[in-house]
């Protein structure tokens, strides 16, 4: 079974009437997090915010939280549990606990019968910015908690490479947007991202 992409999952929920669209302008720091949390908790719908103050992009949240696997095209909950149990059982003979098995499982794409694929989008659907044209505050970053010092993007895809490396490293870690040109990346110790950043700092290399 091929798992739906984020776009496909959103379209499925939208067709089922399980997406709440908000066209009025909302603030990124207070109104957006409150709307997403309350709508998810009370009615279980995903939220599409088309106008986030100070942001150029729309914001979609709550696609997977509390949603039925069947709504996302994954079959029934029983089928999903059975499928995951059969995958995890492949590691029964290896000396690792359940959490380690899930970590390994997540990194083995062929188990899910889904290989990496190249997706092409019309040029009108995306925009590339770099250098001085890049303004990080235009990203749909919000404060998810009053304790957060800065707005954050929870699940970005970060592609990073040192000049001496031939291959890119793609990871997903939360980032905080400090200002137009500065962001903070939470790089767990002993992670590929942490190793690359540590090597860059030690060799004074640009990333």
**pLDDT, tens only, 113-168:** 444 455 566 666 666 677 777 788 877 787 777 777 888 887 777 778 777 776 67
Q: Tell me the pLDDT tens digit for each residue of 34-72.
A: 888 888 888 889 999 999 888 888 888 888 888 887 888
Note whether residue 67 is domain-resident: no
Check whether 26 has a pLDDT greater than 50.
yes
pTM for the complete prediction? Answer: 0.51
**pLDDT at position 150:** 84
**pLDDT at position 123:** 63
Q: pLDDT band at 83, cuts 50/70/90?
A: confident
Check whether 23 has a pLDDT greater than 90.
yes
Q: Mind spelling out the 3-state secondary structure of 50-114?
A: CCECCCCCCEEECCCCCCCCCCCCCCCHHHHHHHHHHHHHHHCCCCCCHHHHHHHHHHCHHHHCC
Note whether residue 69 is domain-resident: no
Asked whether residue 137 falls in the same domain as residue 182, the answer is: yes
Asked whether residue 138 falls in the same domain as residue 180, the answer is: yes
Note whether residue 167 is domain-resident: yes
| Structural domain boundaries, residue 50 | 6-61
Q: Tell me the pLDDT tens digit for each residue of 163-205.
A: 777 667 777 778 888 888 888 887 877 777 888 888 888 888 7
**pLDDT at position 124:** 64
Q: Tally the domains of the chain.
A: 3
Asked whether residue 138 falls in the same domain as residue 123, the answer is: no
Which of the listed residues 14, 35, 61 is the one where a domain comes to its end?
A: 61
Note whether residue 66 is domain-resident: no
Asked whether residue 139 falls in the same domain as residue 116, the answer is: no
Supply 64's token pair.
Answer: 């997977």
Asked whether residue 142 falls in the same domain as residue 121, the answer is: no
> Which residues does residue 184 pair with via DSSP β-bridges, in sequence order?
176
Note whether residue 42 is domain-resident: yes
Asked whether residue 140 falls in the same domain as residue 120, the answer is: no
Check whether 5 has a pLDDT greater than 90.
no
Instruction: With H, G, I as helix, E, B as strand and everything else as coil, classify residue 182.
Output: strand
Note whether residue 83 is domain-resident: yes
**DSSP letter, residue 189:** T
Note whether residue 70 is domain-resident: no
Q: Tell me the pLDDT tens digit for each residue of 97-117.
A: 666 666 666 555 444 444 445
Residue 80 makes CB contacts below 8 A (sequence gap 6+) with 69, 74
Q: Residue 135 and residue 205: Cα distance in Å, rounded?
A: 23
CA 124-64-184 angle, 5° bins: 70
Identify whether the C-beta of residue 181 lies closer than 8 Å to the C-beta of residue 134: yes
**pLDDT at position 114:** 45
Note whether residue 194 is domain-resident: yes
């Amino acid at each position: 079974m091929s798992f739906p992409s984020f776009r496909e999952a959103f379209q499925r929920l939208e067709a089922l009437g399980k997406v709440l669209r908000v066209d009025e302008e909302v603030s990124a720091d207070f109104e957006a997090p409150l709307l997403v949390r309350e709508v998810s908790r009370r009615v279980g719908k995903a939220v599409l915010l088309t106008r986030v103050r100070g942001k150029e992009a729309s914001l979609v949240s709550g696609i997977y939280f509390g949603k039925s696997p069947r709504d996302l095209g994954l079959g029934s909950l029983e089928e999903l549990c059975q499928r995951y149990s059969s995958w995890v059982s492949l590691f029964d003979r290896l000396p690792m606990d359940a959490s380690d098995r899930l970590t390994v499982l997540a990194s083995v794409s062929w188990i899910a019968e889904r290989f990496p694929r190249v997706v092409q989008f019309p040029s009108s659907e995306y925009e590339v910015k770099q250098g001085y044209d890049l303004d990080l505050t235009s990203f749909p970053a919000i404060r998810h908690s009053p304790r957060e010092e800065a707005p954050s993007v929870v699940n970005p895809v970060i592609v990073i490479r040192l000049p001496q490396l031939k291959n890119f490293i793609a990871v997903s870690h939360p980032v905080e947007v400090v200002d137009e040109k500065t962001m903070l990346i939470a790089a767990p110790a002993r992670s590929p991202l942490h190793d690359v950043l540590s090597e860059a700092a030690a060799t004074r290399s640009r990333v």
